[in-house]
Amino acid sequence: MADKKKEKILDKKQDKEKAQEKPQGKNPMQEEEYEVLVRIMDKDILGSKNLYTGLTKIRGVSWAISNALCLKLGFPRNKKISELTKPEILKIESFMENMPIADFLKNRRSDIETGETKHYLSSDLDIKKEFDIKRLKEIKSYKGIRHAAKLPVRGQRTRSHFRTRGIAMGVKRKKS
């Protein structure tokens, strides 16, 4: 009787060990995992992403620009980022620096200072945006005043909410 109990306990321990050995939550038919990070335009992109999706992680690259890049350079959109070779990465970076695409896809059309149409990426885009907001504040336009007050610029309502800025509006009780 005691031997049977010991055998059952041993069987349970072996079952637990087998369960721990199996990968949990993963499909055994799943393809190999990609742990590679590829650096394109000073941005680390996961190797498991496909080219079309992965390029949109770069600040200033939209879905349309990612699609245009894939078409112009002849890359398949579903190619994994980790499968890119060094020359292909350099080709992508040189494309992004020059951007031979239609003007309506670019993010800086008819610049106020220079009049040029350009496309900015990553930190250059952030700097240009900051300078634009600073210029709006200096000329005291409506948008500049709203930016300075840290209120919504594009016409959203502020009575009940805007990130609880300013004085709290309470409900007054009717005098009896």
Q: What is the pLDDT, as a whole number, of residue 106?
A: 87
Q: What is the pLDDT of residue 138?
A: 94
* Cβ contact 29:60 at 8 Å: no
Tens-digit pLDDT string for the chain (176 aa): 667 666 767 676 666 666 666 555 555 445 555 468 888 888 899 988 999 999 999 999 999 999 999 999 999 999 999 888 899 999 999 998 888 888 888 888 888 888 888 888 888 889 988 998 999 999 999 999 999 988 888 888 887 777 655 555 567 778 77
Task: Classify domain 121-163 at the CATH topology level.
Answer: 30s ribosomal protein s13; domain 2 (4.10.910)
pLDDT of residue 165: 59
Distance CA 150, CA 166 (A): 10
**What tokens appear for 107 in the block?**
């993010």
Determine if the pTM surpasses 0.75.
no
Give the pLDDT of residue 21: 61
Name 80's Cβ contacts closer than 8 Å, sequence gap at least 6: 34, 47, 48, 49, 50, 51
CB 137 within 8 A of CB 144: yes
Tokens of 46: 């996961």
Phi, psi for 58 (deg, rounded to 5):
-80, 130
All structural domains of the chain with their residue ranges: 37-104, 121-163
pLDDT of residue 119: 87
37-104: CATH topology is Helicase, Ruva Protein; domain 3 (1.10.8)
Q: Phi, psi (5° rounding) for residue 141?
A: -75, 170
Q: Are 119 and 107 in contact (CB under 8 A)?
A: yes
